[in-house]
């Protein structure tokens, strides 16, 4: 624990947690701006899926490098620079009409955003007692998820009051202010680590561990409800398939994030009490698959939809348990690296799901166009989103084959 004044520790924690909230808002905002972006750039669902998924590629590719830099030069420079990279990524949407530039910008938003949760880890570890780590991390994660919730309807209302490009300008101003405060108020780290000659060999060791990589893959296959549906496709799905107005449609996917707030507290508590980590991961896969079959092939009323979305969010918190379980699949010395790589693989599947859903939707598209924007019918959304429950079932089978029905975790 670094020796700085207690009130400054809280300020620094608040700032990095604010960045974690901010990156969640940036992450979900394309779902609200989808029709505007598609109209400006004249793109279809497949191309928009690639744009949305570029966030996750940037996030995944920068996860380990940012973690390494945090250990060596500290949060002062790394977190503030991460915020700046995130807002620079918004500029192509505000300026010009280059679609590849917009995709590159989305990649940069993801790359910068990866510094948020890693910065939270770093700051809590450095400036607070070890016994506070779980509690403060839980608060940060919950606040971040609430940021995802407020990336829905309130952002939609801001767009209605001004314009989507004006809202992006607000994001840039807020990000620049946040980066400045982090840089000014965060002290230079006095515990930065020197470069480790063994980093390359450690990474190679983890990547060669078959159970580690398969666990990461199967955990990533379960992320579709959160990263494939709630982040982007959910709003338009409810508009087209359920005939909802945009404002109401924007509020429903937010319930997934609200449910995950609850699940992040409930699932680990149950798993710890009864030592059933593996069984909860398996249950999460099956329950979410069942909920998505209902969502796609039944016409649920509003109350049922709210329950389905909230319960999906609760079981989306499986990620915490899956990451913990994977850390047990390698020697203790590699646990931090396994955690980083697992999170990287999970986040990278945001790109996989967005691209695959958009590709299937375009494949079954009937060719209808309104103005210059493709119009997708209910069947396109149902076929495209059917990927999600299929992936969940594949994940369930994969975890069973890996032995996740074995005896309880000791």
Please state the φ and ψ torsions of residue 366, each to the nearest 5 degrees: -85, 5
Q: How confident is the model at residue 190 (pLDDT cuts 50, 70, 90)?
A: low
Is residue 41 pLDDT above 50, yes or no? yes
Percentage above 70 pLDDT, the chain = 90
In terms of pLDDT, which residue wins out, 128 or 106? 106
Distance between CA atoms of residues 173 and 2, nearest Å? 31
What residue ranges define each of the domains in the chain, with the CATH number in brackets?
1-195 (1.20.1250.20), 197-410 (1.20.1250.20)
Residue 223 has pLDDT above 50, yes or no: yes
Distance CA 311, CA 305 (A): 10
pLDDT class for 133, splitting at 50, 70, 90? low
* Percentage of residues of the chain with pLDDT beyond 90: 41
pLDDT at 193: 47
Q: Which of these, 45, 82, 36, lies nearest to 178 by C-alpha position?
A: 82
Report whether 370 contacts 361 (CB < 8 A): no
Does this model's pTM top 0.75? My answer is: no
Q: Collect all residues with Cβ–Cβ distance below 8 Å to 261 and sequence separation of at least 6.
A: 142, 145, 146, 313
Averaged confidence pLDDT in the chain? 86
Regarding predicted confidence, which is higher, 29 or 313?
313
- Collapsing DSSP states into helix, strand and coil, what is residue 279? helix
Q: Are 26 and 171 in contact (CB under 8 A)?
A: yes
- Which tens digits make up the pLDDT trace of 355-394? 899 899 999 988 888 777 788 889 999 999 999 999 999 9
Which residues have a Cβ under 8 Å from the Cβ of 249 and sit 6 or more positions away?
234, 235, 236, 237, 238, 239, 242
């Amino acid at each position: 624990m670094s020796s700085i004044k207690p009130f400054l520790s809280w300020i620094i924690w608040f700032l990095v947690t604010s960045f974690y909230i901010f990156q969640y808002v940036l992450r979900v905002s394309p779902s609200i701006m989808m029709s505007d972006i598609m109209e400006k750039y004249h793109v279809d669902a497949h191309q928009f899926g690639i744009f949305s998924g570029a966030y996750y590629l940037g996030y995944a590719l920068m996860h380990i490098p940012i973690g390494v830099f945090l250990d060596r030069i500290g949060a002062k420079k790394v977190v503030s620079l991460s915020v700046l990279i995130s807002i620079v990524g918004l500029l192509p949407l505000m300026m010009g009409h280059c679609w590849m530039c917009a995709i590159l910008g989305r990649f940069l938003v993801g790359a910068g955003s990866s510094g948020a949760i890693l910065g939270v880890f770093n700051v809590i570890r450095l400036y607070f007692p070890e016994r506070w780590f779980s509690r403060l991390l839980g608060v940060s994660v919950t606040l971040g998820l609430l940021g995802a919730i407020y990336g829905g309807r309130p952002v939609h209302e801001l767009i209605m009051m001004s314009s989507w490009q004006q809202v992006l300008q607000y994001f840039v101003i807020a990000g620049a202010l946040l980066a400045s405060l982090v840089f000014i108020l965060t002290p230079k780290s006095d515990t930065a680590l020197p470069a480790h000659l063994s980093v390359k060999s450690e990474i190679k060791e983890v990547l060669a561990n078959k159970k580690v990589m398969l666990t990461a893959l199967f955990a990533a296959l379960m992320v579709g409800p959160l990263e494939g549906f709630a982040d982007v496709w959910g709003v338009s799905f409810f508009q087209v398939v359920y005939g909802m107005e945009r404002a109401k449609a924007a509020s429903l996917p937010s319930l997934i994030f609200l449910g995950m707030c609850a699940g992040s507290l409930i699932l680990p508590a149950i798993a710890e009490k009864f030592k059933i980590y593996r069984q909860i991961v398996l249950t999460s896969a099956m329950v979410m698959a069942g909920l998505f079959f209902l969502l796609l092939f039944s016409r649920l009323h509003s109350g049922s939809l709210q329950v389905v979305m909230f319960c999906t969010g609760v079981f989306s918190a499986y990620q915490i348990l899956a990451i913990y379980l994977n850390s047990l699949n390698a020697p203790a010395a590699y646990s931090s690296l396994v955690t980083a790589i697992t999170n990287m693989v999970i986040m990278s599947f945001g790109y996989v799901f967005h691209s695959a859903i958009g590709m299937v939707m375009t494949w079954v598209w009937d060719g209808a166009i309104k103005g210059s924007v493709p119009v997708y019918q209910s069947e396109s959304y149902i076929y495209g989103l059917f990927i999600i429950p299929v992936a969940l079932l594949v994940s369930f089978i994969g975890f069973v084959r890996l032995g996740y029905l074995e005896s309880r975790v000791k």
